[in-house]
Structure 1
């Protein structure tokens, strides 16, 4: 009997210690600055036969190369019913889950980016999925909730708990046009909150991000998040895009980086939210400049008071121009990462 009691006490102590260590490890992981990459093109690149090479010119898994360059988090976009187009298609629920599982296997954290479209959604276009066309607004609310719930559930079944989830991608003008346009904030916020509720129902600890472009533009962000707050939008994190390349009259990052820094701090203070740069990138032909820019963006996000700056994500660093025709990757024609990606190692 005494031996049995001793065994029970030791077992309880072991279980308590193990749970404490697991909880501590999870908390430490969540407190670690996110050095991220959106690599949603990767499955298409691999299927097309694209080969990735490490710094030693050896063929290697892209995940391994990214991890060796400091990347600890992966962002994945999701389209509702995508085509098979290599650049603007794919990213279905099943592909997203498969990629999330791979990221977890490499010990990386996961961000899910809901576009709520069959293809790209961004400031220039927010087309609703074809299957949702003709639906009245109450049905659209159900469409969005059910789709979000379905993807989040599929991730959960696969053992994935996304640390962050975006409700919409670059939505300064809203999403799911025309019903979710900023011309009708009441409806837009209802859509946002349906997405928020679906995420939290499946994964209460996932942080919900609302994402606006032009991270250096404080007036744009104040207008947007003032209106979102006024109408009761639910979210946890303010996400920003920052691409000096696309800024009219300011392609040199040194002309806008101070504005980005000021906006990061203003958003964290004004709304009491955590902030992230969820998309950034620079020209693949100006490697040193992109490297310098990325180092500075990371430094500025880390400098947000009270550790409210959560991380920086490079958009498609592996999306080499030779395959994608995209000019802002961090990959060379030789199939290897450029020096730009080393900025994640040095921070």
Structure 2
């Protein structure tokens, strides 16, 4: 299987190249990560709109806030209870089908872990712990294709797939830790990219880092990937400011985005944002500002903005407080920033 991955790296194609094509992505994605929705529904949560009417959350996001895209994370073998929103490929595909049926575009976030992958932890799946690096690349290849085929079985071809999540220091530690072996990290990104393209040549791949305002991080990480031959389409960024610094952080992120575009020829997408639910006025201003500035990047190279789990109620799932709904089931004004 590795040989196939490397052939694709060299652009020689493979027996699956171009098998399916993603549907046309929106010119500008206004998105929400909704991975907790099925678990919340299983726990009995419901959502009200701004008028107090209980409605389907996807309907509210689309029709009240002009959300046209959703982001869904996928773990390899999550052991945690489904009620808490730990999505395997089949649960993720069912949610993706539901969003597609509502007319939305789909982004997948492949964590390549059994639980959360982020700047502080990139833990290999338990089943992959003893693998050689070649076996690890084969596992990334096979898992990525399995997820893509699970989506296609539900009639979904994702528009975008993140190869890892917030891989500030690489992924699948220690083998793919960027500060230890940037080449390994690049090869893992290549393997994920090529696996996606082998199933859907039109799906765009994303490398996603946290702290979108941190230009030095992005130059080191993205530059290191490219110097080591990594192939991917889009640079993704997270941004979680405070009510007092969001304007500064947005401007720094836009400066960084423009640098990434000019330096590496990559388009940019803000794949995670959030701000405390009890700072809703600041959150609305933040959303409005970053949406407008990303959309106005020259050449159409700013592709979209995604709010992370806006439907989360205050304190949900261990204390997440950056959603956009209140404990009374009604939304804050934060998502009004998406409305044109």
Asked if residue 106 in structure 1 is aligned to residue 102 in structure 2, the reply is yes
Of residues 326, 330, 336, the one that matches 1:332 is 326
CA positional deviation for 1:32: 2.1
> How do 1:52-91 and structure 2 match up within 5 A?
52-68=47-63, 69-85=65-81, 90-91=86-87
> How do 1:274-293 and structure 2 match up within 5 A?
274-293=267-286
Asked if residue 271 in structure 1 is aligned to residue 268 in structure 2, the reply is no
Contact 2:43-2:83 within 8 A present in 1 as well: no
**SS of 2:211 mapped into structure 1:** coil
Decide whether aligned partners of structure 1 residues 219 and 39 sit closer, same or farther in structure 2, where only a CA change above 3 A counts.
Answer: same
Distance (Å, rounded) in 1 between the aligned partners of 2:287 and 2:303: 15
Contact 1:167-1:210 within 8 A present in 2 as well: yes
**1:127 counterpart residue number:** 123
**1:14 counterpart residue number:** none
**2:191 counterpart residue number:** 194
> How do 1:1-347 and structure 2 match up within 5 A?
29-68=24-63, 69-85=65-81, 90-182=86-178, 183-245=180-242, 252-324=245-317, 325-346=319-340
Distance (Å, rounded) in 1 between the aligned partners of 2:263 and 2:290: 21
Contact 1:284-1:330 within 8 A present in 2 as well: yes
Distance (Å, rounded) in 1 between the aligned partners of 2:307 and 2:230: 27
Matched length? 317
Q: Deviations over 1:172-205 (max 9, x none)?
A: 1000000000110111111111101110000110
Contact 2:28-2:303 within 8 A present in 1 as well: yes
Tell which deviates more after alignment, 232-241 or 253-262: 253-262
Contact 2:38-2:83 within 8 A present in 1 as well: no
Distance (Å, rounded) in 1 between the aligned partners of 2:85 and 2:51: 32
**SS of 2:47 mapped into structure 1:** coil
Distance (Å, rounded) in 1 between the aligned partners of 2:161 and 2:132: 26
CA positional deviation for 1:322: 4.7
Q: Give the gaps of 5 or more residues in structure 2.
A: 1-20
Distance (Å, rounded) in 2 between the aligned partners of 1:294 and 1:54: 19
CA positional deviation for 1:216: 0.7
Distance (Å, rounded) in 1 between the aligned partners of 2:230 and 2:244: 33
CA positional deviation for 1:154: 1.3
Contact 2:79-2:114 within 8 A present in 1 as well: yes
**SS of 2:161 mapped into structure 1:** strand
Contact 1:320-1:333 within 8 A present in 2 as well: yes
CA radius of gyration, larger in: 1
Q: Give the gaps of 5 or more residues in structure 1.
A: 1-25
Contact 2:42-2:83 within 8 A present in 1 as well: no
CA positional deviation for 1:220: 1.2
Cα RMSD of the aligned pairs, angstroms, is 1.7
